Amino acid sequence: MREEIVKEYISLIPNVFGSFSELNKDSMELSHMQNHVIEYMYMQNRALNLKDISIGLNVAKQQLTNIIKDLETGGYLIKVPDAKDKRAILVSLSPKGKEVQDNKWIKIYQKFSEGLDKLSMEEQLDLRYALHKVNILLEKMGP
């Protein structure tokens, strides 16, 4: 049983990734890594220091420095000194960065919704139940 579950999970990853990649295609004008940073900041929904971003994305702080600088120059991020730690800088999404991500997720939602039209009502119900169940069980398993 365990082996079948692991095989199904592993086959799910490229399916979900491929589906999301297709939905996400052409939705951003940024590089892959810039998009990763903006997306991560959007999902965190709060100001973060470079260390938090580095850990969250599993990217070296040295690599992030230039990416953050370019995103700030482009108007996607805002950097401010951390009031709690004078040595640290907090990074947050600018209104432009938030708007870009809001628009991106609206497009993804619309494209996915269009894909659902290819499924019968019964298949849509099956998909909803399956996704709900997978999310609950993976959350229960934890990291």
Spatial separation of the C-alpha atoms in residues 91 and 41, rounded to whole Å: 8
Contacts of 98 (CB under 8 A, 6+ apart): 42
Contacts of 103 (CB under 8 A, 6+ apart): 27
Contacts of 75 (CB under 8 A, 6+ apart): 94, 96, 97
Contacts of 28 (CB under 8 A, 6+ apart): 35, 38, 100, 104
User: Does the pLDDT value for residue 27 go beyond 80?
Assistant: no
Residue 143: how many CB atoms within 10 A of its CB?
3
Please spell the DSSP secondary structure of 35-61, one letter per residue. Answer: HHHHHHHHHHTS-EEHHHHHHHHT--H
User: Does the pLDDT value for residue 95 go beyond 90?
Assistant: yes
Question: Considering just the CA atoms, what is the radius of gyration of the chain in Å?
Answer: 19
User: Does the pLDDT value for residue 133 go beyond 90?
Assistant: yes
Mean per-residue pLDDT for 34-61?
93
What average pLDDT is seen over the chain?
Answer: 90
121 pLDDT band, cuts 50/70/90, is: very high
Its pTM stands at 0.76
φ, ψ for residue 142, nearest 5 deg: 65, 175
- The angle that helices 95-116 and 2-24 make with each other, rounded to 10 degrees, is 120
User: Does the pLDDT value for residue 24 go beyond 90?
Assistant: no
29 pLDDT band, cuts 50/70/90, is: confident
User: Does the pLDDT value for residue 28 go beyond 70?
Assistant: no
What the chain holds in terms of domains, given with CATH numbers, is 2-141 (1.10.10.10)
User: Does the pLDDT value for residue 91 go beyond 70?
Assistant: yes
User: Does the pLDDT value for residue 17 go beyond 70?
Assistant: yes
18 pLDDT band, cuts 50/70/90, is: confident
Structure confidence at residue 92 (pLDDT): 95
